[in-house]
Structure 1
């Protein structure tokens, strides 16, 4: 019990001493004695005006030390940009009795910072230049020395301090730029600096919220340790960890984590950032960046790389829904590696490797001039099947005509984004080993493109496709709202089957085609371009087949129906004109010159051969309405032995829409064919009459021409005999 009594007395005595110490601090030591020192120290060190408008007093909670309820900081007189509602400085008690100030804790609560850039570009936080401050200081010193009796004692300097804890709570920072019309706010929930001194690492904890007016916001938590070396002017932050949550940018919040370290060497004027891990969902990026000439003209270089990224997981985290690809096995993984360097004027990526699933792209990329946005690139793709990545075709649904009423519009949307093309400044080259597009394999693709001042030029376009090749140049002038396109394209030996099948269910035309086209067009819709298109084209087709249409059979069927009335014209025509079993027209060789004009592809006259028959044709294709109108003249080889019909051109007309059935396109011109047969039959009858007349007069003639020849020959013979008799009589008379 006696021990407890002594312990109680000791505790009571200790409590009494603490109360006496508090009374001494409260009534004998006035914190306002340090007020002028603090303001002068800030003014001399930075040029800022520190206002301690409230009296400095003692605080006993939450810290023991000084406190002030109204603190301001201004770069311009009476225009503070920083206001602190409560400032508390925790100090060690005992050193105060010996005149020493040892700060134990600094706590700031209720900070309001208003940073403003006006319409003229001036801001409210920049102090006057050092030369101006020095001149004013000298002027003030001269004024003070010349004033009698105005001498004052210099303020005592505050001793160097080491602060175990600096805490800032409930701070709001707002940045308004009237020139850029931007408004950004930062709410600092908590900022803690532990062990604040210049010899040991300073631990940092920062929690803040960043918001952009009418834009996304960011919640940020930052942890790190600053290791200063003042003698070498080296500052290292290691580790530096950050966790950020981004709101209102996507459908749901986005979390980003960073593990890194920073090194700033002011002596060498350089800085380094090493990113151990930057993580977004399952996407992990690492790399390093170094900056030289940090305070002069910064130059930087570095590298970044990623581990394989799960695209479905990333899309889920980003709350993005992409159309379901045609192939469910694609859009699974992606990765990249790159090295870069640059300065304030340019950025270059001399080594770039990107991979999407099994496709790889490598090459170089550069922004050669930030001011002109000059971009150059040289990229190579190994292979890709674009069809796999196209959206899966939607299932067709039936709807009533009324359901679609009012949804159609006669106005076409702009085909070419001229506003986006005009600022482009490009010079690049792209190569691809294999590209599959709409089930067409394109190999050895080369695309060289330039763009400047609204003119985009494809100066080299090459590819192997459809068993042939493509070579050409294109140009697009987008300097006006009505762009102009020019093209010079050469295609050699391509197979037409896949091309014609694009427009109809069954392939219409097959064979090896070559053509050269030089054309230009003006407009910004498909209709405008087709209507204004003007150019020339040379076409060649070898070993072609016109599927679903047999021009010979159309003529034969029409002839058979009409020859029945004039069978004498072509006896046994049923046997000599058998209908071909094949439903196609073979084209052994076709040569044609065409022109593009007023929305039509016009082919004035061209010829081709199908078997032993020759066909000539002329016509045009309506490019706007996907229709056509052609006249064909078929010469049947089966009629070569018929003297009345051989070499006859039998007319066929083909017209309709490409989307309709080929079986409905072509038909014979029965009226013209009837006229041809009528004329031939008339000639046959005349020949028959001539033969009968010749028989009566003893001449063997099968037709009019032979009869005329026979008659002529007979008359000439009779004339010769008459002349001979007359000569004989004359000779006999003269001999007497």
Structure 2
């Protein structure tokens, strides 16, 4: 044991002595020109080191440098500025006065990926013949360091003509082995417009065939987005995928995509090409997709006073004096083509729950065709094929909706309309207009549709009771059935609707129930939230009293007009005039019958004269 300890002590003394001698004999500043030369030969970039280089022995033999910068040829600003740089070197090559770096660490660095930091071609540089390309040796994999570490740094990223985005608190570890297989570990955050995005990424990359091919995988990508105009809990989730890039054909593929955002999940694959006219093929499956949670809206929970509840966001976004104008002209969809096949097991949208939703569509440089958009909700189902065209400044849309037994009340709430009517709606038609938002539908859409409803219920108004009470006030010979029901129910209701930029005309309404028959027409204004609808209603049951008058009332259509604001509807019910006209018609009918039976009677001429005077 004593011999082992003695041996280790001797070995330690030799190492310390050797390191000390090496530090004394080898001046790290001797490698300054070599490092500058190597960087420029391998990449064309200019390395600048300020201050003296010095040794750092423990726990790793390293060369410490002060401020440094790397600048691309002809660039206006350095690509990298760093307060400190550390080079971890191999010991044995130093014995022969050679520098072999195994790790580079940059601290408090500023990395600029902007137009000002890009390499610029000199104005007098010769232009090569058409079709010439950069030699393979010049465009191959240049990262020959085993490990790169960036600590507490900043990345400034900006595309030409775009906005500048700052990635702060960057901590990056990039390492590779002899087979050119690299691993990446990155954390950073982005603050912008009172929102903060935190990212953490772990992945691997295979560059053995670079630049012809790059493949890799993201083992774990986690993020969290919080701030203004977002749900209180923010948006957070994780993702993983496999990626492959073919440089010669400019084709890529993303496989085994697994994405979660809050309580939504998404799986699938994306492939395509980027050269020439980019083309994409997207195949996705979502076990759960909660659009309300992703947008911060909740239309069903915590609703009060009949108003849809909306989750409170953590704050409002700042008002920008000169917001960026966004139009169809600069939409990325105008520059690409592709196909999308998506299946959603469970979908929540504006308070409505859907299942077995299938979407099949394509895009041809801004002309989108929705071949299939189907799904189920409750006991009903829907189909919504159509087209969307963004070639013009205003988005043009056309849809052919087919609804079968869809609950109407949740649909009205989804489109921010009063839930005064409920029942199961079936409809087919064709609608067109511009814009895809709810507001666009309420202001800028047109079209026609045929509709029918089962068990339709109009809340707040009992037509039968209104008519019977009006008759009771006009006559003491009949009375209606006492009821405390505050709604009108119609088992079968059908008709047509005509939508014209916010004005919806209801045409040829026909309804029937056990207590009444109705027919009607009218106008509903979605913009001003006004309506004017007239129903002709026959109350076919629930009468008591004079049998002859009861039979007359059962056969008489009473006009009922509903008009005014949705919040305070008014009505007009002219029972007296209808009953008076009904009695007059009955009297005229009986007089005509008497005249026909008594043609020779001297009083028949007087009866005819009486009829003429009361026409």
Q: What range describes the TM-score normalised by the shorter chain of this pair?
A: 0.5 to 0.7
For residue 595 of structure 2, the aligned residue among 708, 732, 736 is: 708
User: Which of 412, 430, 433 lines up with 2:345 in the alignment?
Assistant: 433
Residue 461 of structure 1: CA displacement?
0.4
1:455 to 367, 379, 382: 367
- 2:37 and 2:206 mapped to 1: Cα distance? 38
> How far does residue 512 in structure 1 lie from its aligned partner after superposition?
1.4
Q: Secondary structure at 2:517's aligned position in 1?
A: strand
Deviation at 1:168, TM superposition (A): 7.0
Contact 1:291 1:299 in 2 (8 A): yes
Please tell me whether residue 360 in structure 1 is matched to residue 268 in structure 2.
no
Aligned counterparts of 1:680 and 1:387: Cα–Cα separation in 2: 55
In 2, the alpha carbon distance for the partners of 1:415 and 1:170 equals 42
Higher mean Cα deviation, 445-454 or 596-605? 596-605
Aligned position for 1:306 = 220
Q: Deviation per CA, 1:191-229: give whole Å up to 9, x if none.
A: 645536799964444547344388999xxxxxxxxxxxx
Matches within 5 A, 1:688-707: 703-705=590-592, 707=594
Q: Quick one: distance in 2 between partners of 1:441 and 1:678?
A: 52
Q: Is the 8 A contact 1:489 1:516 kept in 2?
A: yes
SS at match of 1:422: helix
Other structure's SS at 1:263 match: coil
What runs of 5+ residues in structure 1 fail to find an aligned partner?
Answer: 1-59, 89-106, 109-163, 218-233, 265-270, 397-406, 408-412, 565-571, 688-702, 716-736
From 513, 538, 556, the equivalent of 2:450 is 538
Question: Secondary structure at the residue paired with 2:376?
Answer: strand
Provide the residue aligned with 2:72 in structure 1: 175
Report deviation, 1:491: 0.7
* 2:498 equivalent in structure 1: 595
Distance in 2 between residues matched to 1:67 and 1:614, nearest whole Å: 98
| Structure 1 residue 447, shift from structure 2 partner | 1.4
Q: Aligned to 2:400, what secondary structure does the other structure show? A: strand
Structure exhibiting the larger radius of gyration computed from Cα positions: 1
Q: Scaled by the length of structure 2, what TM-score is found? A: 0.67
| TM-superposition CA deviations, 1:385-423 (whole Å, max 9, x none) | 444454374679xxxxxxxxxx9xxxxx99975532423
Secondary structure of residue in 1 paired with 2:385: strand
Give the aligned partner of residue 242 of structure 1. 149
1:263 to 161, 175, 178: 178
| Structure 1 position 677 matched with structure 2 position 576 | no
Please name the residue that 2:227 is paired with: 321
Supply the distance in 1 between the matched residues of 2:510 and 2:172 (Cα, whole angstroms).
Answer: 72
- CA offsets, 1:164-202, max 9 Å, x none? 998876544333668xxx744434654645536799964
* CA distance in structure 1 between the aligned counterparts of 2:151 and 2:335, rounded to whole angstroms: 35
Task: Determine if contact 1:216/1:247 at 8 Å carries over to the other structure.
Answer: no
Length, aligned pairs only: 495
1:391, 1:64 → 2: CA distance? 58
Q: Give the aligned partner of residue 374 of structure 1.
A: 279
| Counterpart mapping for 1:343-354 below 5 A | 343-344=246-247, 345-354=250-259
Q: Give me the whole-angstrom Cα distance separating, in 2, the residues matched to 1:503 and 1:705.
A: 56
Aligned Cα root-mean-square deviation (Å): 4.8
Partners of 2:85 and 2:182 in 1: CA distance: 25
Could you give the per-residue CA deviations for residues 626-676 of structure 1, whole angstroms, max 9, x where no partner exists? Answer: 322111101222578436555222111112233x04xx33331x2xx4333
Q: Judge conservation of contact 2:105–2:151 (CA < 8 Å) in 1.
A: no
Higher relative contact order (CA 8 A, sep 6+): 2
In structure 1, C-alpha distance between the alignment counterparts of 2:490 and 2:326, rounded to whole Å: 37
- Give the gaps of 5 or more residues in structure 2: 1-24, 55-60, 118-140, 157-164, 190-197, 298-309, 314-318, 603-615
SS for the counterpart of 2:469 is helix
365 and 584 in structure 1: CA distance in 2 versus 1, 3 angstrom threshold = same
| Superposition map of 1:45-64 within 5 A | none
2:560–2:571 Cα contact (<8 Å) kept: yes
TM-score where L is the length of structure 1: 0.57
On the 8 A contact 1:304/1:338 being kept in 2, the answer is: yes
Moved more, 186-195 or 334-343: 186-195
Cα separation, 2, equivalents of 1:453 and 1:65: 59
What is aligned with 1:138?
none
2:319 pairs with 1:419: no
**Correspondence 1:212 to 2:132:** no
Q: 1:394 to 1:532 in 2, by over 3 A?
A: closer
CA–CA distance in 1 between the matches of 2:524 and 2:29?
95
Cα distance in 2, alignment partners of residues 64 and 354 from structure 1: 50
Residue 682 of structure 1 deviates from its aligned partner by: 3.9
For the Cα contact (< 8 Å) 1:425–1:451, is it kept in 2? yes
Do 1:418 and 1:479's aligned partners in 2 also have CA atoms closer than 8 Å? yes
* Whole-angstrom CA distance in 2 between matches of 1:485 and 1:64: 69
Deviations 1:240-264, CA, capped at 9 Å, x for gaps = 1413333376889413131532335
2:138 corresponds to which residue? none
CA distance in 2, matches of 1:512, 1:353: 37
Alpha-carbon contact 2:328-2:392 (below 8 Å) kept: no
1:376–1:426 contact (8 Å) kept in structure 2: yes
1:561 is paired with a residue whose SS is helix
| Equivalent residue, structure 2, for 1:515 | 427
Task: Label 1:684 to 1:543 Cα distance change in 2 as closer, same or farther (>3 A).
Answer: closer
Give the corresponding residue for 1:230: none
Distance in 1 between the 2:293 and 2:437 partners? 29
SS across alignment from 1:604: strand
After TM superposition, list the pairs within 5 Å mapping 1:140-289 onto structure 2: 171-175=68-72, 183-187=77-81, 189-190=84-85, 192=87, 195=93, 202-207=101-106, 209-212=109-112, 239-247=146-154, 253-258=168-173, 260-263=175-178, 271-275=180-184, 277-279=185-187, 285-289=201-205
Q: For the residues of structure 1 that align with 2:145 and 2:48, how far apart are their CA atoms?
A: 31
Q: Distance in 2 between matches of 1:448 and 1:300?
A: 31
